Structure formats: C-alpha cells, structure tokens
C-alpha cells in the first residue's frame, strides 16, 4: 500500500472516531454520527452526546481560572442547580457534553470521576466522597441486590481497599455501576445521570482492567430488566469478551490479580462463576443470547460459603472436578450454595444438549432415560442441609433458591412437549409473534411426562410460598416462575377439576402477586406480568381476554431448562387422547424464552 492510500486510510479512521458519540465510543461500537442523537442511541432510548473539539482548548491555567469562577458563582445557586451547572461546565471544558442531571433528577450521592486532569465531584447530604460505607446508594446496592448476585467484594472489604489512593481510580466505574443499581431500588426510576457518569468512567478507564468486567456486567443486568434489551446484550457481550480475553476462567487469574488478599482472590473466582451463571440465565430467558461460556473448560476454583466470604475467613477452595465426582466420595465433602448453583446450571445445560431440538414421539423415552437423569442426579445428591432453602431463623438461601428453581423449570421444559399440557398460540398479544411449533403425537409415556411437569410446578409453588416478609429475589427468577405458571394454566384448562382446580387458581394468584412485587422495581417484569394476566384471562375464559386460536394445538419446538419433585394430587388424573379440543399455551418471547 502506498503512502497516499495509507494516509487516506488513517484519515478515514480518525474521522470515524471523531464523529462517534460518547456512548458508542465507550462501548466500541459503530456510530453514524447523526446529531443531536445518533441512530443507535435513538434505538436504545438513551442520552446521546458528543465530545467537543479540543482545538483551541484551555490550558491548565485557564482551566484553574475557570474553576475558580465557577466556584465563586456557586453561592448564588441552589444545591441542585449548582451541582448540575458546575459538572456540566467542567465536562464541556474537557471535551464532553453529557448533562449530569438529565430528566430533572435530584443530585445523586457522592461521585468522583476523573475526566482529563479534573476531578468531578457531586455531593449529597449525608455522604462523602471517600465514605462509601455510608453512601446511601452503595448501601442500597448491598441490601437489595448483592445477596442475589454476590460476586463483588463484601462492603467492608471494598471500603478498606478503596482507602488506598492507588486503587481509587480503578474502582470508579464499579462504584458508578453499583450506585446506578442502588438508585433503581431506592428511586424506582431509571437514573439517567448515573448512566451518564458510568459512560464517562468507561471512557477514562483502562479497557483491560478486570473491574470493567464487573462494571459492564452490572450495567447489563440493569439495562435488561429496564427493557433495554439491545443495550444489555452489548454490555454483556463486552463483559464476557473481556473476561475471556483476560482468561478469567483459569485458576491463575485469581491468584495473579488477587495477590496475597484471599478475599480479593475469592472475588475474582466469583466474578467468573456469576458471569457463567447469568449468561445461562440470559440464554434461558430469551433463547437468543448465546451461552458463550458453555464450552469453556474452566480451572478456576469454586466459590466458598457466603458467611465465609463476608467474614474474610476463606477456606482452601474446592475444584469443579471434585464437585463433579462427589458421588464417588466415601466421605461427605462440603460444597457451598454457590457451587450447587453452578452444578444446577451445568445439569440444565447438559439436559438441553441431550434433548431434541424438535420433539417427536420417539424422543419421549430418550428424554426420560438420558436428559432427565442429569437433573435427577443433582437433586438426589443434595445433602440434607441443601434440600431446605430456608433455615430455622427464616432466612432464605438465595443461591439455593435460584438453583432449585432452575432445576424445576428445566424439568418443565423437557417434559411438557411430551405431556398432555399442550401449547397453543394466543392471538392479539404482540409478544406472541412466534409461529406455532410442529405438532407432536402423544407418546405412550404421556402420563409420566405430565406428572413430571406438574410436580415441578408444585415444587416451584412451594418455593414461592416460603414465609417471607417481602418477596425479594433476583429478577431472573421471573421467567422461570412464569413458565411454571403457563404450564399450570394449561392444567387448569384441561386436567384439573374441583378442589384441585381451586387450589391451582390460588397458586396462580399468588405467583402473579410475587411477580408484581418484582415488577415494582423492574419495568420488564411489570410488562411480563401484564402479558401473563392477558394469557390467563384467555386460557381460563375470564374477563375480556382475547380470542383463542382454534387451530390444532402444538407441542413446543424444543425443550428448556427444568426438574423437581412436588405434590399435586394426581390420583384422579386421566389424560385425554383428543388433542383437537385441548387448550394450551403459546410460546411468548419474553415469558417462554426457556422453550427455545
């Protein structure tokens, strides 16, 4: 290539970089440069901002003078206006134009973000820049979210490490992501200002810093359950890609990045395994986000117990090989709840890979003998202290709660295509756009499959009925619970009578109530609840509802994650061989992603 073409190519690359908006630049994605809002930001419904040209910019002396003039003028402003105008002015001086307080939100808790050579600070009553232990949004994160996905450092340990000035800049994007989630739980609205701050942090952070994996991972979860699916996928892809690039799945990573700190080493182990778990949740929820880490052969050790992690007393970690060979041990080996959750994900993935993509009558026995054995193996090898998810003090083990739900929904997905609980498309619901799958003839073992589904549903119900002051779990439980509800609705329409029907209706009512609680925080869940209500009205013939599809009912095109034992009284159950009149449920994109 000659010098002219090389120069031209370099010029084109520089032009693309300068035209890209700040959000697209931070995520390293293409941007059309359209102003005032690029096409990507318009599609994702997010703030779009561009860096100002640095030509003719102010030198350090001019910047210092500018800051003094801003400080002198702050006395005439209210606290809210002062924070907003000073922060925005500094951003503009440094080549950024993202407004801090977009949407009229009140100023957020203490933030410190490095942009260029300026430290950006926002103060909030009761919080200080370095006192993250008492920061209200950080506290909200740990109280409301950390227990559902416990992979970040315990709060006391994070506070201690943050006191080291050399670490503070590295922790900045993570703290911004934590505050974003804490704000969602406290304000019940999308924190535009905190999202802007987090994007600014990504621009300044080292792209290979492993803390960016944690930060983008958290942002992805928040975006997804706030119904920004495309943006959530981008962040999850970025987090997963960086984790794979850093080889976070190898045992050497935790050792090299944790140094002599056993809690920090445990944190990095947990980061990989939580990424692995949530990646599987995404795959099951949508059926479209690939389980990217499923075929990785990790050597990173398994996480310890939560109490051990919080106390800092970290034992010698167990390995995945030890866990997968636990049935051959003559002496009982203790594994953590986190380890059993990882095992549940493995079993669910193995069951799905062994099950047919398009169910046929001949696959019925194969599912029972091969795919289902993985789920039964997990359940039967549980020690007694893991079979109960609530202790004597009424505290629920959140990770075992998720593990049991995952096993149950896997059984529902595996067996329902061969059961009498058929699927049928429900008309006039926008999310029911999937084409009905091919019909599967009723197999000889239809009773076995139907009972397995109903027992898994009943096991889910028992988990939801645990006596808690507040139903508080990870939002990813939504689709697992919803699929059990869809199967139960089909049973109500075709199988259950009398007292059994009345009990099932009460269970559906309770399930919707549980999901509504989560929907008060996460808009995507609230939307899913409304869709589920409409489906229930149609299937049960209640209220206005929508018209029912009278076409021949169809089975699911494929299995999904699941398993469990339960207790519906099935003594009087006799499946019908007349499939032409069976009511059933269609696959809904956001409720039935596990069926894909």
Q: Which of 504, 521, 540 is the last residue of a domain?
A: 540
Together in a domain, 390 and 426 = yes
Among the listed residues 587, 592, 593, the one whose alpha carbon sits nearest the alpha carbon of residue 424? 587
Residue 403 lies in a domain: yes
Residue 69: per-residue pLDDT:
52
387 plus 259 within the same structural domain: no
Instruction: Please state, in angstroms and as integers, the Cα–Cα distance from residue 302 to each residue in 249, 327, 384, 481, 546, following that order.
Output: 11, 17, 20, 27, 48
**Lookup result for tokens 């929907």:** 519
Residue 302 has pLDDT above 90, yes or no: yes
- Do the domain assignments include residue 6? no
Per residue in 557-574, pLDDT (tens digit) is: 333 333 333 333 443 444
- 141 with 281, same domain: the answer is yes
pLDDT, tens digit, 9 for 90 and up, residues 337-396: 999 999 999 998 888 777 777 777 778 888 888 778 889 999 999 998 898 899 988 999
CB 425 within 8 A of CB 432: yes
**pTM for the model:** 0.74
Q: Is residue 191 part of a domain?
A: yes
Using one digit for the tens of pLDDT, what is the confidence trace for 137-156? 999 999 999 999 999 999 99
Q: Which DSSP string do the residues of 245-259 spell out, in sequence order?
A: HTTTTSHHHHHHHHT
Nearest 5°: phi and psi at 495?
Answer: -115, -45
Out of 104-108, 218-222, 403-407, least confident range: 104-108
Domain that holds residue 36: 18-49
CA 412, CA 431: separation in Å to the nearest integer? Answer: 21
Give yes or no for a cis peptide into 237 (omega within 30° of 0).
Answer: no
301 in the same domain as 378: no
State which of 504, 523, 540 marks the end of a domain: 540
Q: What is the pLDDT of residue 161?
A: 93
346 and 307 in one domain?
no
Mean pLDDT of 170-191: 96
- Provide the domain count of the chain: 3
Claim to verify: residue 353 and residue 277 sit in the same structural domain: no
Q: What is the pLDDT of residues 489-519, one digit of tens each?
A: 889 988 999 999 999 999 999 999 999 999 9
Within a 13 Å sphere around the CA of 184, how many CA atoms are in the beta-carbon half?
27
Residue 35: CATH number of its domain: 4.10.240.10
For the stretch 269-296, pLDDT in tens is 999 999 999 999 998 887 665 677 877 8
């Amino acid at each position: 290539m000659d010098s002219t073409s090389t120069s031209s190519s370099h010029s084109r690359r520089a032009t693309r970089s300068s035209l890209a908006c700040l959000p697209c630049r931070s995520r390293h994605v293409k941007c059309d440069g359209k102003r005032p809002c690029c096409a990507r930001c318009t599609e994702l419904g997010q703030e779009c901002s561009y860096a100002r040209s640095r030509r003719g910019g102010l030198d350090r002396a001019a910047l210092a003078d500018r800051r003094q003039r801003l400080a002198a003028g702050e006395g005439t402003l209210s606290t809210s206006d002062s924070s907003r105008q000073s922060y925005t002015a500094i951003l503009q001086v440094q080549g950024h134009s993202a407004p801090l307080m977009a949407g009229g939100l009140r100023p957020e808790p203490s933030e410190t973000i490095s942009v260029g050579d300026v430290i950006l600070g926002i103060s909030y009553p009761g919080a200080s820049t370095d006192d993250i232990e008492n920061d209200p949004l950080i506290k909200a994160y740990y109280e409301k979210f950390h227990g559902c996905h416990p992979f970040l450092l315990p709060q006391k340990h994070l506070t201690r490490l943050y006191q080291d000035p050399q670490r503070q800049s590295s922790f900045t994007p993570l703290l911004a992501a934590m505050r974003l989630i804490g704000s969602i739980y406290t304000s019940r609205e999308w924190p535009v200002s905190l999202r802007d701050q987090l994007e600014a942090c990504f621009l300044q952070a080292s792209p290979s810093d492993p803390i960016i994996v944690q930060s983008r991972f958290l942002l992805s979860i928040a975006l997804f359950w706030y119904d920004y699916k495309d943006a959530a996928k981008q962040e999850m892809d970025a987090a997963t890609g960086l984790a794979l690039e850093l080889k976070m799945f190898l045992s050497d990573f935790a050792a090299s990045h944790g140094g002599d700190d056993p809690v920090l080493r445990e944190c990095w182990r947990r980061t990989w395994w939580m990424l692995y778990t949530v990646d599987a949740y995404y795959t099951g929820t949508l059926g479209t986000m690939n389980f990217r880490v499923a075929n990785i052969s990790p050597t990173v050790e398994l996480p310890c117990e939560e109490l051990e992690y919080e106390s800092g007393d970290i034992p010698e970690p167990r390995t995945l090989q030890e866990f997968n060979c636990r049935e051959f041990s003559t002496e009982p080996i203790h594994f953590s709840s986190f380890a059993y959750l990882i095992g549940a994900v493995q079993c669910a993935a193995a069951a799905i890979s062994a099950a047919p993509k398009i169910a046929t009558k001949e696959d019925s026995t194969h599912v029972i003998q091969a795919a289902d054995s993985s789920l039964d193996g997990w359940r039967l090898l549980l020690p007694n202290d893991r079979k109960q998810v609530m202790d004597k003090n009424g505290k629920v083990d959140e990770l075992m709660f998720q593990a049991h739900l995952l096993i149950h929904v896997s059984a529902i997905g595996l067996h329902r295509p061969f059961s009498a609980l058929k699927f049928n498309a429900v008309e006039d619901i926008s999310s029911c756009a999937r084409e009905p799958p091919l019909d599967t003839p009723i197999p000889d073992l239809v009773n076995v499959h139907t009972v397995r589904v109903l027992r898994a549903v009943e096991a889910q119900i028992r988990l939801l009925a645990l006596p808690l002051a507040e139903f508080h779990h990870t939002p990813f439980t939504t689709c697992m619970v919803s699929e059990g509800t869809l199967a139960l609705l089909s049973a109500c329409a075709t199988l259950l009578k009398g007292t059994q029907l009345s009990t099932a209706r009460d269970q559906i009512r309770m399930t919707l109530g549980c999901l509504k609680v989560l929907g008060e925080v996460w808009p995507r869940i609230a939307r899913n609840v409304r869709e589920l209500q409409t489906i229930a009205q149609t299937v049960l013939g209640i209220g206005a509802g929508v018209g029912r599809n009278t076409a021949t009912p169809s089975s699911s095109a494929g299995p999904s994650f699941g398993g469990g034992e339960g207790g519906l009284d099935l003594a009087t159950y006799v499946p019908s061989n007349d499939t032409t009149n069976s009511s059933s449920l269609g696959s809904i994109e956001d409720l039935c992603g596990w069926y894909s």
